[in-house]
Amino acid sequence: MLLIFSIAASLFHPFKKSVDTYKFATMLNKVTMNQLIEGLEKEKISNFFTMNGMGQYQIMFYGEGKINARYLLEKDRMQNRINQVAVAFKNKEKTAFVLLKPQDRKHFKQTQMKHLSETVTLVINPTVFQLKSFGFETSDLN
């Protein structure tokens, strides 16, 4: 009886309506990646912040080493690239915060944003306060 219930449960599990799966809701596809890289180049931005940890490395890879990205943490893999973002920010060089979720746009002034697609937006020269409110560690940015 236990064996029959186990088999039945495993067969019907995929058809359950509320299956919890992990998804990259903001995964960059080829089109949006090209729009982002072109947008960064057009704006002459080579250092930026992003909320997508996987996207951080993906964007740097497709940027062919010309751009540096930073996720939430001050210390992470590829520390030299993360440090470059902090140096650029502190030196008041042009930086950006890459938004990949349209609902995040409501936290910024329209004049500060450059929309590259329906889902990808650059926030030009974000402030420490803005970054901190999204969970970035900021002690290295002061």
14 versus 93: the higher-pLDDT residue is: 93
Q: Distance from CA of residue 43 to its chain's centroid?
A: 18
Sheet containing strand 68-70, edge to edge, reads: 68-70, 47-50, 96-99, 121-124, 113-115
pLDDT (average), residues 43-53: 93
| pTM of the shown model | 0.79
Reply yes or no on whether the pLDDT at 18 is more than 90. no
Nearest Cα neighbor of 32 from 125, 121, 134 is 121
What are the backbone dihedrals phi and psi of residue 45, each rounded to the nearest 5 degrees, phi first? -110, 125
pLDDT level of residue 13 (50, 70, 90 thresholds): low
Residues 6 or more apart whose Cβ sits within 8 Å of residue 76 = 70, 82
Q: Is the pLDDT of residue 2 over 90?
A: no
Q: For the chain, what is the mean pLDDT?
A: 86
Between CA 78 and CA 111 the distance in angstroms is 32
Cα–chain-centroid distance for residue 127?
17
